[in-house]
Structure 1
């Protein structure tokens, strides 16, 4: 289970996996995905595409309301924007490995905090439990769009 950088040749598979999980991650068009990968602090995949992670630091050209929420409050951070694991690859610890790899990269770059958001409405109890087990704690919330989606914002310190 080797974690590797996402390359241009991986983008079609990343797009397909992302859009299979559009309810949780949001739908992407090919041009938008290319832009996001280009802006990412950390863009990694496992296997032919068993899963992927995209994370951004505060310097990214990114207009996501969730990312902007953190940029307005944190001078320096890494934001986990999306993680997806294919159905056939679940239960193998891929998401945990992605996060551990990201934590190491963020520390090496001098970051002290990793952030993310988790859906509150519609609820995502699996993601809640996963992030709690990794040491994330809630720092805020927001109602998005037309009020049909509510998210909670989380952070995890990278200090020892």
Structure 2
């Protein structure tokens, strides 16, 4: 299986929206208009191409963008420099082939090249998302807090970016105000 990772293009948008819709129970809804908004804010928007088709994608926002999202805001209140994974989706028929891991490795390389010290994300605790918990643990993420949003409780996760990606959390640029794990 040959996998090509590249920046997402407008020509990929229909496939990205379809992948997201198929996995919406694990992420949030996204139509074409919302994808255009997210794409405009994203620092890193990558796709994995397998057999000529978009098989997976990742959208990540750098710090200090005008992104209206409660989870992003939670990290922005606590960390000066970070990159927030808005979503990563792998098509059901392509799961188990390391596409998510390849996209994460690519994101960490992107962050490292820009001296971004940490990558942040969240996953559901209520209702539980065990596959996401295990995936993020394998990639060096650790819980730094929790929050309730509507009927969901999420685990706020951070992984350090460095030569040994995921080797612990470097909080050297954590904001001093608001370091509680809300």
- The bucket for the TM-score relative to the shorter chain is over 0.9
Which contiguous aligned blocks of 4+ residues in structure 1 show a shift greater than 6 angstroms? none
Aligned runs of 1:80-159 on 2, under 5 Å? Answer: 80-145=85-150, 148-159=151-162
Query: Residue in 1 aligned with 2:48?
Result: 46
Q: Give distance in 2, aligned partners of 1:73 and 1:62.
A: 16
Relative to the length of structure 2, the TM-score reads 0.84
Give the TM-score normalised by structure 1.
0.96
Give distance in 2, aligned partners of 1:24 and 1:2.
24
Higher helix share: 1
Show CA shifts across 1:87-108 (max 9, x none). 1111110000000000000000
Matched residue, 2:74 = 69
Give the alignment partner of residue 61 of structure 2, picking from 51, 56, 65. Answer: 56
Pick aligned residue for 1:13 from 12, 15, 19: 15
**Larger-gyration structure (1/2):** 2
Residue segments in structure 2 that go unaligned for 5+ positions in a row: 164-182
| Count of equivalent residues | 158
- The more displaced of 20-29 and 83-92 is 20-29
Structure 1 regions of 5+ residues with no counterpart? none
Instruction: Report the aligned-residue RMSD.
Output: 0.9
More deviation, 132-141/15-24: 15-24
Within 1, Cα distance between the matches of 2:145 and 2:55? 31
Shift of 1:24: 1.3
Is the partner of 1:26 in helix, strand or coil?
coil
